[in-house]
């Protein structure tokens, strides 16, 4: 059967359907993309894209490839309702609001000095916004170029860090590394200058780079600049809580003028150093500038005297503690074993309580001696609790203890007051010693008094007693017979003369650095710092370990020997502990004149309370010192 050909073939029908689809799609696109109402208002021949009018290179070529290239023009330039009126200039766009997208940056910017004090807009720095590319060029150089549009290049980009950056060193700091980018703080502008925050911020940022081992190694520098600042008086006070009272990095290195000391433009050049130091240290002599702000006690080549001083002090510590700690351990073992044997034999007693009886006792210390000792204890504890927190400023306990005194500056006042008391006690002791040697100012017989049994000056018998004591430790003989003063008590007394000379002299130099520059060169202040610090450690640890043991913690006296507080002790104790003195007093007929009634209950209670409190507090401080020195 033949196919019947109709008027419209299937091919004609498919073509018709396709044509209808294209027509509908075109009408849809026209309705969606074009507003006929707005189109009617546009002059003939003008296109609908912004680039039709804004046809510059920045808009046509740079903007599509910029960081904002994916944004529509109206995302920033909002408020255009009538294109025709906009083209004729009757309807300008609303002011650009960067914070509509950059909200976090805007919050920082509103706290910046650029906003609060200078009313600088975003476009003042980001003037090429249509061409801005993210990470398209060196950010550090971009920041430098932007900042130096307003800030003179001579202040930064041609000196120090900026100069290094321009030469290609990308480790060198740019403006934003120190000052921040959008949140530049207004530390030193306006009516309220926040010097403390300024020093804290900039010093922290300086140390962030100069303590970076990898960065300093790449640039052939040392992290010593950062660590030595933390070890200095400036750094310790700064790190504890009061940066407004001491110099930070930028105070000496003057912020932007970071140049080597050999450069004549450097603030640290020898020709400029006197004026630079004199800004804080008024009235100094030129010799003051030989003070080394970043000393290295381990550098023999550049700091030979400081190296030798540190080595001597460490040697003194090692020798002193090695001898007396071994002496203490051997004494403790021997006495403990001896006491245990006596208890087993039923000839001893184990009571730790004071004996509240009225037995006759002998006078050992006068009221003057006891008052001096109490003043010595109070001033010494004050010196330790105000000085050692500064010595170990990096520890948590140091900051707590320093804050209890009201901060480093307030603690410094108490420290100096206690030092005055201690110096006064020393001078008075020196006066008493002179009067002992020269009674009624008569010199005859002074050598006999100096080496006699009532003197605290060492003599040949003390050497024999030391030998005898060690023989007794190892069961090779009896314990030596002592007179009024033992060899360890004489050492305590003579150590005061060395200690007060070392720690007192160095302390006065550090207290009055400007005045000391009239007598001593500045580098001697570095020596004084080492001596003062290490001698303080020696004095405190010796008192809290060796002295406490010899006089209180030895097993046959534990937990306290109260005679320094009560002024007297039993005749039996005198006969047992100092037999030569007892025999001498009996032979000279002076024993009865020294006999006294035993101290009352209240006196014993106060003596025990104050003495035990001092012991416990001293041992507590020893724990903190050891923790900081060896384990922190």
Which pLDDT tens digit goes with each residue over 23-46? 666 555 555 444 443 433 434 433
In a domain, 459, yes or no: yes
Specify the pLDDT at position 142: 87
What was the pLDDT predicted at 137?
60
- Both tokens of residue 597? 């009634």
Q: Tens of pLDDT along 400-410?
A: 999 999 999 99
Helix (H, G, I), strand (E, B) or coil at 88: coil
Mean pLDDT on 282-295: 94
User: Helix or strand or coil: residue 198?
Assistant: helix
Sort 507 into a burial class: Cβ within 10 Å, 0-12 / 13-18 / 19+. buried
User: What is the predicted pLDDT for the residue at 32?
Assistant: 46
DSSP SS3 for 362 = strand
Residue among 401, 349, 316 at smallest CA distance from 620: 401
Asked if the structure places residue 85 within a domain, the reply is: no
As a whole number of angstroms, the distance between CA 426 and CA 551 comes to: 21
pLDDT tens sequence across 429-473? 999 999 999 999 999 999 999 999 999 999 999 999 999 999 999
Average pLDDT, the chain: 87
- pLDDT value at position 478? 95
Instruction: Measure the CA–CA gap between 51 and 354, rounded to whole angstroms.
Output: 101
Cα–Cα distance measured from residue 255 to residue 265, given in angstroms and rounded to the nearest whole number: 13
Q: Which residues contact 80 (CB under 8 A, 6 or more apart)?
A: 74, 86, 91, 93
193, 220, 248 — which closes off a domain? 193
The closest of 210, 95, 128 to 161, measured between CA atoms, is: 210
Q: Which residues contact 131 (CB under 8 A, 6 or more apart)?
A: 58, 62, 63, 66
| pLDDT > 70 in the chain, percent | 89
- Counting the structural domains of the chain, the total is 2
Q: In the prediction, which pLDDT does 44 show? A: 41
Neighbours of 367 (CB within 10 A): 8
204 vs 556: which has the higher pLDDT: 204
Low-confidence winner among 48-62, 105-119, 241-255, 528-542 (lowest mean pLDDT): 48-62
Distance of alpha carbon 491 from its chain centroid, rounded?
Answer: 35
Q: Is the pLDDT of residue 354 over 50?
A: no
- Beta-bridged to residue 185, according to DSSP, are none
Element (DSSP H or E) covering residue 568: strand 568-570
Question: Is residue 50 domain-resident?
Answer: no
| CB within 8 Å of 390: residues ≥ 6 apart | 233, 236, 237, 240, 398, 402, 408, 411
* 76 is a domain residue: no
Is pLDDT of 2 > 50?
no
Mean pLDDT of 510-530: 96
DSSP states along 576-592: HH-HHHHHHHHHTT-HH
Q: What is each CA distance from 39 to 31, 42, 44, 101, 420, in whole angstroms?
A: 11, 5, 9, 31, 93
Tokens describing residue 57? 């290179």
Q: Which of 197-206, 261-270, 349-358 bottoms out in mean pLDDT, i.e. has the lowest? A: 349-358
Report if residue 154 sits inside a domain. Answer: yes
Domain finish residue from 172, 193, 214: 193
Q: Are the beta carbons of 454 and 484 closer than 8 angstroms?
A: yes
What whole-number distance in Å separates Cα of residue 201 and Cα of residue 185?
Answer: 10
Q: How far is CA 21 from CA 8, 28, 42, 193, 564, in A?
A: 19, 10, 30, 74, 115
The answer on pLDDT for 20 being more than 70 is no
SS3 per residue for 296-311: CCCCCCCCHHHHHHHH
In the chain, DSSP finds a helix count (H) and a strand count (E) of 33, 3
Specify which of 48-52, 55-59, 417-421, 602-606 reaches the highest per-range mean pLDDT.
417-421
CA gap 463, 487 in Å, rounded: 8
Query: Would you say 513 and 296 are in contact if contact means Cβ atoms under 8 Å apart?
Result: no
Q: Where is the domain boundary, 143, 167, 193?
A: 193
pLDDT at residue number 526: 96
Question: Per the domain annotation, does 79 fall within a domain?
Answer: no
Query: At 631, which helix (H) or strand (E)?
Result: none
The pLDDT of residue 89 is 82
Summarize the confidence of residues 543-561 as an average pLDDT: 92
The more confident residue out of 1 and 436 is 436
Tracing tokens 């060896």 back to the chain, one arrives at 630
Predicted pLDDT of residue 16:
65
Segment (H or E) for 454: none
Indicate the SS3 state at residue 597: strand
- pLDDT for 212: 95
In a domain, 357, yes or no: yes
Q: pLDDT tens digits, residue range 303-344?
A: 999 999 999 999 999 999 999 999 999 999 999 888 888 878
- Residue 17 confidence class, pLDDT cut points 50, 70, 90: low
485 lies in a domain?
yes
Residue by residue, DSSP assigns 104-149 as HHHHHHTTSHHHHTS---HHHH-TTGGG--TTSS-HHHHHHHHHTT
How far apart, in Å, do the first and last CA atoms of the chain sit? 109
pLDDT for position 600: 87
**Span 207-230, average pLDDT:** 93
Tell me which long-range contacts 116-123 makes (C-beta under 8 A, separation of at least 24).
116/186, 116/190, 117/186, 117/189, 117/190, 122/98, 123/96
CATH of the domain at 435: 1.20.950.20
Partners of 361 in the β-ladder: 570, 596
> Please, which pLDDT band fits residue 72 given cuts at 50, 70 and 90?
confident
460 vs 349, residue with greater confidence: 460
Cα–Cα distance for residue pair 1/512, rounded to 1 Å: 130
The pairing of strands 568-570 and 595-597 is unpaired
Q: For 464-514, write each residue's pLDDT tens digit.
A: 999 999 999 999 999 999 999 999 999 999 999 999 999 999 999 999 999
Name the band, by pLDDT with cuts 50, 70 and 90, for residue 4: very low
pLDDT of residue 160: 83
pLDDT value for 617:
98
Which strand ranges, in their side-by-side order, compose the sheet holding 568-570? 568-570, 360-363, 595-597
Helix (H, G, I), strand (E, B) or coil at 354: coil
User: Is the pLDDT assigned to residue 416 strictly greater than 60?
Assistant: yes
How buried is 243 (Cβ within 10 angstroms: 0-12 exposed, 13-18 middle, 19+ buried)?
Answer: buried
Are 355 and 497 contained in the same domain? yes
Which domain does 467 fall in, by range? Answer: 324-631
DSSP line for 149-164: TTS-GGGTTTSHHHHH
Angle between helices 233-240 and 367-391 (to 10 degrees): 80
Torsion of CA 215, 221, 222, 228, to 10 degrees: -110
Give the model's pLDDT for residue 46.
Answer: 38
Q: Which stretch of 85-89, 268-272, 414-418 has the lowest confidence by average pLDDT?
A: 85-89
Say yes or no to pLDDT of 48 above 60. Answer: no
């Amino acid at each position: 059967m033949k196919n019947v050909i109709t008027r419209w073939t299937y091919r004609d029908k498919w073509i018709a359907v396709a044509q209808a689809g294209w027509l509908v799609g075109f009408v849809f696109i026209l309705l969606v993309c074009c507003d006929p109402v707005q189109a009617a208002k546009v002059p003939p021949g003008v296109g609908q894209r912004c680039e039709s009018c804004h046809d510059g290179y920045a808009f046509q070529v740079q903007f599509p490839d910029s960081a904002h290239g994916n944004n529509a023009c109206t995302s920033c330039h909002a408020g255009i309702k009538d294109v025709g009126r906009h083209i004729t200039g009757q309807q300008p766009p609303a002011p650009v609001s960067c914070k509509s997208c950059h909200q976090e940056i805007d919050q920082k910017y509103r706290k910046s000095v650029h906003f609060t004090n200078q009313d600088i807009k975003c476009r003042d720095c980001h003037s090429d916004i249509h061409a801005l590319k993210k990470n398209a060029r060196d950010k550090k150089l971009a920041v430098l170029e932007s900042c130096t549009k307003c800030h003179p290049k001579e202040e930064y980009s041609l000196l120090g860090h900026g100069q290094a950056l321009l030469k290609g060193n990308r480790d060198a700091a740019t403006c934003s590394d120190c000052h921040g980018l959008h949140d530049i703080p207004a530390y030193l502008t306006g009516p309220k200058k926040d010097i403390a925050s300024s020093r804290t911020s900039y010093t922290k940022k300086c140390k962030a780079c100069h303590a970076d081992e990898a960065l300093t190694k790449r640039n052939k520098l040392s992290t010593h600049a950062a660590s030595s600042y933390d070890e200095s008086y400036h750094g310790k006070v700064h790190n504890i809580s009061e940066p407004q009272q001491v110099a930070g990095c930028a105070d000496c290195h003057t912020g932007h003028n970071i140049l080597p000391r050999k450069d004549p433009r450097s603030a640290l050049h020898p020709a400029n150093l006197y004026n630079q130091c004199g800004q804080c240290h008024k009235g100094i002599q030129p010799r003051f500038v030989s003070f080394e702000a970043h000393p290295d006690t381990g550098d023999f080549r550049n700091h030979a005297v400081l190296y030798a001083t540190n080595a001597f002090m460490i040697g003194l510590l090692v020798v002193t503690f090695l001898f007396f700690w071994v002496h203490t351990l051997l004494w403790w073992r021997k006495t403990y074993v001896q006491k245990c044997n006596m208890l087993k034999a039923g000839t001893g007693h184990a009571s730790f309580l004071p004996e509240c009886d009225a037995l006759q006792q002998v006078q050992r210390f006068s009221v003057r001696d006891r008052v001096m000792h109490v003043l010595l204890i109070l001033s010494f504890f004050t010196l330790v609790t105000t000085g050692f927190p500064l010595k170990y400023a990096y520890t948590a306990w140091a900051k707590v203890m320093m804050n209890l005194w009201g901060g480093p500056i307030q603690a410094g006042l108490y420290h100096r007051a206690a030092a005055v008391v201690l110096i006064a006690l020393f001078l008075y002791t020196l006066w008493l010693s002179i009067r002992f040697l020269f009674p009624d100012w008569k010199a005859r017989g002074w050598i006999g008094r100096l080496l006699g049994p009532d003197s605290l000056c060492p003599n040949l018998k003390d050497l024999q007693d030391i030998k005898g004591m060690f023989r007794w430790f190892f069961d090779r003989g009896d314990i030596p017979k002592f007179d009024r003063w033992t060899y360890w008590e004489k050492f305590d007394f003579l150590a005061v003369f060395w200690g007060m000379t070392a720690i007192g002299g160095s302390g006065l130099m550090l207290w009055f650095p400007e005045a000391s520059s009239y007598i001593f060169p500045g580098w001697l202040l570095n020596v004084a710092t080492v001596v003062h610090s290490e001698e303080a450690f020696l004095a405190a640890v010796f008192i809290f370990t060796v002295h406490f043991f010899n006089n209180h913690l030895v097993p046959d006296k534990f937990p306290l020997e109260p005679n320094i507080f009560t002024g007297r002790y039993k005749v039996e104790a005198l006969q047992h502990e100092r037999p030569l003195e007892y025999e001498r007093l009996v032979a000279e007929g002076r024993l009865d004149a020294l006999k006294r009634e035993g101290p009352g209950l209240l006196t014993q209670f106060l003596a025990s309370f104050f003495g035990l409190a001092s012991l416990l507090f001293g041992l507590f401080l020893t724990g903190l010192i050891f923790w900081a020195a060896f384990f922190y």
